[in-house]
Structure 1
Amino acid sequence: MNYEQQLNAFYDQLETEPLSTAGIAVWHALMQVYKKAGWKNPFTVAVSVVTLKAGITERHFFLVRKELVEKGYLTYESRKGRQAAIYCLTPLTEPHSHKTAVNRTYNADNTTVNSTSNSTDNRSLLVKELNKDFNKNINKDNNPFRFYEENGFGMLSPFISESINAWIIDHTFIEPEAVIIEAMKISLMQNVRTWSYVMKILQDWSSKGIQTLADVHAEQERRKQKVAAYHMKKKGEQAHENAKRTSTPDYSSYDFGF
């Protein structure tokens, strides 16, 4: 499978089959596992691994997985006992592949059941349940993807979306969404609207061990104090220099009587 083509097709499909932010994160996490497995479809992965990569709770994961199945992004087969489920990601680059992929899914007894993706009532209930659970962790004001587009950085390309998602799921920050948005705010205050500039800010914070929004604010306060101290020092040096010049005798207009 061509990773770049699959990624581009994924974001194209989001235009017609939108996912929650958690859904996007879980899809990317499964894609990473799929890639590591050598593009072998189907593949197995433990729930704990996916939740760690996606940065969500186990309870939330099962809701998101259901969303991904109903919208045609994957199928899966649960297995008895503590065995990891078997996943099959839909090859989105193939025409109409998402329509055939949702025709089957599995219950805990490995019995094939019909998909309910065409049921408006079921989908509505699912969306409500997803939104209720997801909004506990993130809302529209804490969504870096939305913030990027709504504040003049430009349209989200697959590359930028992947990069933002990578910062969210790699556990560099404890509060990744809030920290990424704060970096974008600082970029805006500097009148720079590029993702590369935001990345430099994030990399700087990462190197300093900053993990939360409180850490960011503390670092900003330290920088302000450092800058203020620098200006005070320069002001003191300038005042001292001015005082030296004033105290030096000026004989240029003195009449010595010669």
Structure 2
Amino acid sequence: MNYLKEINAFYKKLEQTPLSGSAISLWHAFMNVNNLADWKEEFTVASWVVRAKAGLSEGTFKRARNELKEYGYLIHRARGSRLSAAYQMVSLQATMDRNVYDKTAPLVKQKKKQKEIVVVEGGPHSFYEQNMGMLTPFIAESITKWCEELSDELVMESMKIAVKQNKLLFQYCEGILKQWEKRGVKTVQTANLVEWESKKVPSRKSKKAANQSIFDELRAEGDKWITEKR
């Protein structure tokens, strides 16, 4: 890897796919470790070392690491509780060069490459790639798991909701899918009904706050009326 080119490619990618400040700090920390390891394709490092470099707590580190994995910046492989995890840095410069080549390649070559893609056109994996971000092996595996647990249609519907809410993380989709699974949702029609009901019926806390607000207004008006009458 060329360190400078990777940093330039990183910030160019950030313009299209923003990351949290924690994820940005963690990416730089991993890049520094990989540089010290002479850019090995796969390297191992203790989590506390990277956390110290990035200045992150354990919980924030795990969330930031998942963010980097989901957006295709990093590949993580656990090796057991007593061994340091193994990591691979995704070359962003190589990805950008490959994307430029794909756009300028002859039509025949593009069609040949499309045949090699396992993802079915119009399926959940394809929808994610076209509307939410880069389809990494980690995300692809999660999508496949939920398609098997529920259905392709429900996974696609959760993604549509996420896109409408501008929540372009599959973790958001998983939150929706977990709720549907808990409530025994099997069809898109039922899912839409559940979402509609959740928006229609306010929580008890909201009702209480609304009633309290109305009571305060009436009491204020009543006090004013009593004062004027006197």
- TM-score bracket relative to the smaller structure: 0.3 to 0.5
TM-score (norm 2): 0.46
Higher Rg: 1
TM-score (norm 1): 0.42
